[in-house]
Amino acid sequence: MKKYCISILTILFGCDAMQEKSGIVLDSRTRLPVEGVAISKYEKEDSTNPYTRRIYSDENGLFEYSGIGGTNSFELYFMKDGYKVQKIHNESSDTILLELNK
């Protein structure tokens, strides 16, 4: 019975992977931290879909993203008014450089 329960739990929870990424967001020109950068797995936010929720970089430009997905591989979008949208792969550098819109 114990093996049966463990097998069921593995099937139920074994398909999703924990997705985590942390780092710092800097202005590409000044190399200063950028506060309030929206970070999400999706460029568009849908208030009815919790998977499109956004987190924001703090006053030191630091961020910590965690979510659940089908694989360990994922992309994140970094967005802030006045800056170009930056899309990165989770295995990219932990330092995100945002470029100003011109």
Q: What is the CATH number of the domain that holds 91?
A: 2.60.40.10
5: in domain? no
Q: What is the pLDDT of residue 9?
A: 46
**What is this structure's pTM?**
0.77
Q: How far apart are CA 47 and CA 62, in angstroms?
A: 24
47: in domain? yes
52: in domain? yes
pLDDT along the chain (102 residues), means of 10: 50 66 96 96 75 88 87 88 94 92 87
Q: What is the pLDDT of residue 85?
A: 95
User: How many domains in the chain?
Assistant: 1
Residues in a beta bridge with 39: 55, 78
The residue range of the domain holding 64 is: 16-98
3: in domain? no
What is the DSSP secondary-structure string of 4-30?
Answer: HHHHHHHHHHTT-EEEEEEEEEEETTT
Q: Are 14 and 68 in contact (CB under 8 A)?
A: no
Q: Are 35 and 27 in contact (CB under 8 A)?
A: no
1: in domain? no
